[in-house]
Structure 1
Amino acid sequence: MKLGKRISQLRETRQLTQGELAQILGVTRAALSHYENDRRQPAYETLKKLAQYFSVSMEYVMEEVESN
């Protein structure tokens, strides 16, 4: 699983819109969309906020897992 899919999956578990999560993270909705579609990489601080908000480790957020 790539980083973008992981972010999207975490967002969907809390039933948040891209706009809502973007506001929580302090980024634009467009930036979050780019992250979820693996067109851009989030800054370290954004990843840190994401991990803290979802109560997961940075390693979990960044870990690439092959999916079938």
Structure 2
Amino acid sequence: MSNKDFILQRIRVYAGKEFDPAEDQQVADVLRSRFNIRLPQRSSLNASLALATSDHEIIGLVLQYRTMT
């Protein structure tokens, strides 16, 4: 299992459902509905996630997943 797959599994465990952390709308919907997290408005979702990484561990995991190749 690759590190990216491991991170994806952790994200889905935190969220309690399967979703694609590479899809902006799905990430925003899960953070809002499951964790009541409203991201700050920035030019990109990654920039918003970077500003909110201390709010909840899932944000850091999603950001890490999105930056892996």
TM-score between both structures, scaled by the size of structure 2: 0.39
| Higher relative contact order structure (alpha carbons within 8 Å, sequence separation ≥ 6) | 1
TM-score (norm 1): 0.39
